């Protein structure tokens, strides 16, 4: 199988790491600004802060039904259209807080290419989140993954290689174009979405991200809402029960948490609700009293060190 997908020529040349301009969005009603290298992060933070559970399903819909995202070095990503306030207002106007929209329509931000076939949801389980601040003022939020379990099950010099090729779209049919189609030197789409938050003076105020596969944008959206809008500490934000709309057409509420109480009211509104474990792997830090406080997700045995 590998011989049919990869050739030695595909790996030729020197691997280079490119500096990429981060995507920044202003958090409504607060001073902080969220910066991430991932357009999906910006979309989720901008839209989800308005009406979390309904908006999340709208944020996922375009990628699964109308158009797709991929490596911006190969296919333009409509970043400005996605984070435009007018687009967020347009999507928010389609929300009816009194009834479920079981078939949400995909939005069409400026610059989206509707000729690109949609993709399937991603599944990952071998992911870790690292969030660090040092005494020099440097801050890192990094999500890294082997993808599925032990990745490719190949080890080189002590490192297990990932199987992230599975994050590319399935081969498009003849005549179709897919933004996330496999190609040499191309990065596959990922739901990983680490971010750094800056205060009004431009200084890092908080940082974080999460493991968890397709629902990662749900996890980090909830975390930033709790920390930035509701002034929760990192520890408080992490233990909040999750609600995810990453599975098309369904709302998943986290079993054994306060979120499970939402199952009945959501079903009454017409939503298809599933009660199940949601294994996030979040890690957040926040500036406090001249230093930093932090928390790691107990769902995956995370630890905090000072």
Residue spans of the domains in the chain: they are: 24-300
Alpha-helical regions (H) of the chain: 2-5, 39-48, 52-65, 79-83, 85-92, 216-224, 234-239, 263-268
Mean pLDDT of the chain: 78
| Confidence class for position 97, pLDDT limits 50, 70, 90 | low
pTM: 0.73
- pLDDT in the model for residue 209: 95
Q: What is the pLDDT of residue 297?
A: 94
Phi and psi at 83, nearest 5°, equal: -100, 5
Write the Ramachandran bin of 220: left for phi over 0, alpha for psi from -120 to 50, otherwise beta. alpha
Taking 80 as the threshold, does the pLDDT of residue 85 lie above it? yes
First to last CA, the chain: 46
Given a contact cutoff of 8 angstroms between Cβ atoms, the answer to whether 282 and 262 are in contact is: no
In the predicted model, what is the mean pLDDT of residues 176-193?
83
pLDDT at 48: 42
Structure-model confidence comparison of residues 239 and 49, the more confident one: 239
pLDDT at 266: 87
Q: Is 301 helix (H, G, I), strand (E, B) or coil?
A: coil
| Helix/strand/coil for 292 | strand
Instruction: Give residue 116's pLDDT.
Output: 60
For a pLDDT cut of 70, what percent of the chain falls above it? 74
Which has more pLDDT, 9 or 237?
237
Query: Which of the pair, 237 or 214, is modelled with greater confidence?
Result: 237
Provide mean pLDDT across the span 276-297: 93
Task: Please give the angle made by the CA atoms of 207, 208 and 209, to the nearest 5 degrees.
Answer: 150
Query: From CA 2, how far away is CA 132, in angstroms rounded?
Result: 37
CATH code, residues 24-300: 3.60.20.40
Instruction: Judge whether 299 and 279 are in contact, CB under 8 Å.
Output: yes
DSSP state of 236: H
**What confidence category does residue 157 fall into, taking pLDDT thresholds of 50, 70 and 90?**
confident
What is the rounded CA–CA span in Å between residue 61 and residue 154?
35
Residue 252 has pLDDT above 90, yes or no: yes
Residue 73 sits at the vertex; the CA angle it makes with 40 and 37, to the nearest 5 degrees, is 35
Q: How many CB atoms lie within 10 A of CB 289?
A: 6
């Amino acid at each position: 199988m590998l011989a049919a997908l990869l050739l030695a020529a595909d790996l030729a040349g020197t691997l280079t790491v490119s500096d990429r301009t981060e995507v920044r969005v202003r958090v409504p009603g607060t001073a902080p600004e969220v910066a991430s290298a991932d357009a999906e992060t910006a979309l989720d933070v901008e839209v989800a802060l308005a009406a979390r559970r309904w908006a999340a399903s709208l944020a996922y819909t375009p990628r699964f039904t109308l158009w797709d995202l991929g490596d911006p070095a190969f296919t333009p990503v409509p970043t400005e259209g996605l984070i435009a306030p007018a687009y967020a207002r347009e999507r928010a106007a389609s929300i009816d807080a009194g009834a479920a929209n079981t078939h949400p329509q995909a939005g069409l931000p400026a610059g989206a290419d509707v000729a690109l076939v949609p993709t399937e949801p991603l599944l990952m389980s071998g992911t870790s989140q690292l969030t660090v601040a040092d005494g020099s003022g440097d801050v890192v939020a990094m999500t890294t993954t082997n993808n599925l379990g032990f990745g490719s099950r190949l080890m080189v010099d002590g490192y297990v290689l990932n199987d992230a090729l599975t994050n590319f779209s399935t081969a498009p049919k003849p005549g179709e174009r897919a933004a996330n189609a496999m190609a040499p030197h191309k990065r596959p789409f990922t739901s990983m979405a680490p971010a750094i938050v800056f205060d009004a003076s431009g200084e890092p105020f908080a940082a974080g991200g999460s493991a968890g596969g397709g629902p990662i944008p749900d996890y980090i959206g909830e975390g930033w809402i709790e920390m930035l809008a509701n002034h929760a500490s990192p520890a408080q934000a992490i233990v909040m029960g999750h609600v995810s709309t990453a599975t098309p057409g369904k709302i998943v509420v986290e079993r054994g948490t306060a979120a499970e109480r939402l199952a009945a009211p959501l079903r009454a509104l017409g939503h298809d609700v599933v009660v199940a474990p949601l294994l996030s792997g979040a890690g957040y830090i926040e500036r406090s009293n001249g230093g930093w406080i932090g928390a790691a997700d107990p769902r995956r045995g995370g630890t905090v060190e000072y």
